[in-house]
Amino acid sequence: MSAKTIRYYESLGLLFEPERTSSGYRDYGETDVERLRFVRDAQASGLTLSEIASVLELKDSGERSCTHTRVLLERHLEEVAAQIERLQTAEKSMRELADRARSLDPTTCTDPNRCQVISDSVSA
């Protein structure tokens, strides 16, 4: 992770402000590194930074976060399933248009403003 990303995570409260060296550099310990790994892994699983912060708040207060995390992931899973359904519908429509395009004779397309593949399929 870049230093800019780490400072951003600090500003969001995802990472505690670290100790400083005598020269003013941030000095991160193993706990900080593990927390950064968790943030990276949680993002990769689909959680937003806000959701990750909510998980970390629970952990920081000594509470268990598994149920909360499960609810977040299940909500994302539902969103992904809905998105897949929308994409499958779009794919079906595009396949139908592509099939239609293969069956039409381009020489019969005389409308200067519209393509017969699309204009005729809407009114069909």
- Asked whether the beta carbons of 14 and 50 are under 8 A apart, the reply is no
pLDDT at 121: 56
Express each pLDDT in 80-119 by its tens digit: 999 999 999 999 999 999 998 999 888 888 888 888 888 7
Identify the CATH number of the domain in which residue 47 sits: 1.10.1660.10
CA 48 to chain centre: 8
State both tokens at 69.
């995390």
Distance CA 80, CA 27 (A): 39
Domain ranges, residue 41: 3-75
Query: Domain count of the chain?
Result: 1
**Structural domain contains residue 22:** yes
Distance CA 103, CA 21 (A): 72
Q: Judge whether 115 lies within some domain.
A: no
pTM over 0.85: no
